[in-house]
């Protein structure tokens, strides 16, 4: 496991550059970390404790930032990174969709690998932003993204619940409930 947090910014020709760990004043990242932490406490989640979070500008689909949240087993780092990028890219290509769940394909090819095309990205039209996450089971990925969107102010609870209906995601409400019971606020 690699517990350190890496923050990457993809620019121009997709060169990776280390940038300050303070992005969106650090609050956005803390919300994503809290979502993954809450998810890892759910029954049966085992060692699924991290992944990569990607933020894309909605109208261009350009990657604005990618950062690691939590711990990812070394052997899964490349896959989680690639899938986080792929989910957002695919959702951008399906501009009419709100969720990558709508173009899900278990046999999809990513970086020449048959890793599948999974849920875990949402497009928030009102802010022209696409958020994606990969590292835990796909409905958990989506729940992390939705939790982060809600608590960062990018989406209302009703907007999040409308997206939840697309995938029948049971995890978002569990994360939201845990946050409310613990009176957690970013």
At 18, list the tokens: 């280390």
Q: What is the per-residue burial (b if ≥16 Cβ within 10 Å, else e) of 109-146?
A: ebeeeebebbbbbbbbeeeebbbbbbbbbbbbbbbbbb
Ramachandran area for residue 78 (φ above 0: left; ψ -120 to 50: alpha; else beta) = alpha
Q: In CATH, what number does 7-181 get? A: 3.30.450.150
Divide the 186 residues of the chain into consecutive groups of 10 and give the mean pLDDT of each group.
41 35 66 93 80 87 90 93 93 89 79 77 90 94 96 92 95 93 78
Q: Which of 25, 22, 30, 5 is nearest to 186 (CA)?
A: 30
pLDDT of residue 94: 86
pLDDT at 109: 67
Q: What pLDDT sits at residue 170?
A: 94
pLDDT value of position 173: 95
Question: 105 is written with which tokens?
Answer: 């394909």
- DSSP annotation string for the chain: ---S--EEEEETTTEEEE--S-SGGGHHHHHHHHHHHHHHTSTT-TT--EEEEEEEETTT--EEEEEEEE---GGGHHHHHHHHHHHHHHHHHSTT-SBGGGG-BTT--BTTB---B-S-EEEEGGGTEEEEEESS-HHHHHHHHHHHHHHTTSS-HHHHHHHHHHHT-SHHHHHHHHHHHTT---
Answer for the pair 176, 185: CB distance below 8 angstroms, yes or no. Answer: no
Look at residue 24 in the predicted model and tell me its pLDDT.
Answer: 54
pTM for the full predicted model: 0.83
pLDDT value of position 118: 86
């Amino acid at each position: 496991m690699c517990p350190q947090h890496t923050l990457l910014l993809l620019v121009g020709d997709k060169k990776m550059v280390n940038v300050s760990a303070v992005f969106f004043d650090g609050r956005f990242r803390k919300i994503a970390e809290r979502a993954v932490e809450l998810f890892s406490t759910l029954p049966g989640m085992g060692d699924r404790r991290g992944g990569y979070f990607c933020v894309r500008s909605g109208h261009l689909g350009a990657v604005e930032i990618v950062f690691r949240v939590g711990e990812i087993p070394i052997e899964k780092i490349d896959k989680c990174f690639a899938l986080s990028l792929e989910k957002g890219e695919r959702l951008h290509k399906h501009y009419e969709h709100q969720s990558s769940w709508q173009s899900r394909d278990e046999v999809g090819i990513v970086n020449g690998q048959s890793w599948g095309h999974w849920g875990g990205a949402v497009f928030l039209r009102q802010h022209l932003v696409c958020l994606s996450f990969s590292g835990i089971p796909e409905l958990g990925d989506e729940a992390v993204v939705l939790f982060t969107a809600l608590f960062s102010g990018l989406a209302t609870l009703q907007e999040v619940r409308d997206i939840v209906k697309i995938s029948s995601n049971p995890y978002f409400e569990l994360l939201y409930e845990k946050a409310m019971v613990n009176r957690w606020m970013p």
